[in-house]
Amino acid sequence: MFDGLHPWFWVTFAWLQLLVAYGGYLWYLRGRAQRLQRREEEER
Amino acid sequence: MTHASPDLRPRWLNVLAAAALAALAVGFWTGLVTSPPDVNQGELIRIMYAHVSVAWISFLATGVAALAGMVYLWRGRAAADAVSVAAAESALLFGALTIIGGMTYSRPTLNTFWTWDAKLTLTALMVALLVGVFVVRGLIDDPQRRGRVSAVILIIVLASLPLNYLAAEWFRTLHPAKAIDLTGGGVTMEPIMLQILLINVAAAALMFAWMLSERIRIGVREARLEAERDRPGREDDEEVVRV
């Protein structure tokens, strides 16, 4: 199934993992900070 | 005495974010464009820059998490626990990237995604224990007990890292031997490839520093909010306000 894939497929897939993981985690942190901000405003 | 609002984003954090993104862009460019193909692996050598850099930073993040956990066990400060859990989250991210990237590298070069050789097994164990940190934290309500238990697990993970580092030498199975040997074996890599690898390690380190800083800020604010909610007499205050 994976034997005929071009080397650049694997290279691209490997580097895309970094982009998705970094972007996804930073997006998660942004959402968490926004939720925290709302909770802090409710507490005030 | 006045305190800076937690909403205010410090300028150094924006500088760090810009530096991390710039380093990442340079890392991508050098890894995908500048690097020559390898004599044996051809274009697939480009995966090595992504894989090895995140693997090293997963070790660094685990070390930071465990050291902050030790400080928490020693001093009991909530800030140390906030640093520890923030670094543990990054360690889990970089650890998962190490495994998935390693599988992506292994399939076209060694014809298999996975085998239970010592280094791969120890890395999988590291990631499983890091997942365990967050499972355990989710099950414990008491913040002090939560911090202590997760610190102990992180210290166990840290203790496994020297074995993980040396496993590729001690048990020669699937995972290749180290091209950069910190135990005296020297460097067996083309200078240009070593430079590109180090650029990508620096980029991953800056990304880690950025994510860690953002996560610590959130953790400290959450701990402050939790402490405020648990403060004795708070319900009385609220009653007075309602009256």
pLDDT in tens, B28-55: 999 999 999 999 899 999 999 999 999 9
Count the neighbouring beta carbons within 10 Å of the beta carbon of residue A38: 9
Closest approach of chain B CAs to the CA of A29, in angstroms? Answer: 7
Q: Which residues of A touch B101 (CB under 8 A)?
A: 14, 17-18
* Element (DSSP H or E) covering residue B81: helix B78-110
The residue of chain B nearest to residue A40, with distances taken between CA atoms, is B225
Pick the closest to residue B51 from B177, B204, B174, B188 (CA basis): B204
pLDDT category at B229 given cuts 50, 70, 90 is: confident
pLDDT in tens, B74-98: 999 989 999 999 999 999 999 999 9
Q: Decide if A22 touches B, using CB distance below 8 A.
A: yes
* Banded model confidence at residue B241, pLDDT cuts 50, 70, 90: very low
| DSSP state for residue B44 in the 8-state scheme | T
Tokens of B22: 């710039």
pLDDT at B183: 63
Contacts of B108 in chain A (CB under 8 A): 2, 5, 7, 10
pLDDT of B185 reads: 65
User: In this structure, are residues B202 and B23 in contact, taking their beta carbons and an 8 Å threshold?
Assistant: yes
Sign of CA dihedral B223, B225, B226, B227: positive
B43 DSSP assignment: T
Task: Evaluate if residue B148 carries a pLDDT over 70.
Answer: yes
Mean model confidence pLDDT for chain B: 89
Which pLDDT score is estimated for B237? 55
Provide the whole-model pTM.
Answer: 0.89
Q: Kindly tell me if the per-residue pLDDT of B4 is higher than 60.
A: no
What ipTM was reported for this prediction?
0.93
Record the tokens describing residue B20, joined without a space.
């991390």
Q: B124: pLDDT confidence band, cut at 50, 70 and 90? A: very high
- Check CB contact of A41 with chain B, cutoff 8 Å: no
* Bridging pattern class, strands B186-187 and B180-181: antiparallel
* Range name among A14-23, B120-129, B172-181, B185-194 with the lowest pLDDT average: B172-181
Chain A residues with beta carbon closer than 8 angstroms to that of B50: 14-15, 17-18
pLDDT of residue B87: 98
Neighboring chain B residues of A15 at a CB cutoff of 8 Å: 28, 31-32, 46-47, 50
Q: Which of B129-138, B182-191, B202-211 has the lowest mean pLDDT?
A: B182-191
Q: What is the pLDDT of residues B131-141, one digit of tens each?
A: 999 999 999 99
Q: Do B42 and A7 touch (CB under 8 A)?
A: yes
Per-residue pLDDT at B169: 76
pLDDT, tens digit only, all 44 positions of chain A? 788 899 999 999 999 999 999 999 999 999 999 999 999 998 87
pLDDT grade, residue B6 (50/70/90)?
A: low
* Confidence at residue B2, expressed as pLDDT on a 0 to 100 scale: 43
Provide residues of B within 8 Å CB-CB of chain A. Answer: 6-7, 24, 28, 31-32, 42-44, 46-47, 50-51, 54, 89, 93, 96-97, 100-101, 104-105, 107-108, 207, 211, 214-215, 217-218, 221-222, 225, 228-229
Q: Give yes or no for residue B1 having a pLDDT over 50.
A: no
Q: Which of B204, B53, B176, B26 is nearest to B106 (CA)?
A: B176
Mean pLDDT, range B157-185, rounded to an integer:
78
A11: distance to nearest CA of chain B, Å? 5
Coil/strand/helix, residue B194: helix
Locate the DSSP E strands across A1-44. Answer: none
Q: By three-state DSSP, how is residue B4 classified? A: coil
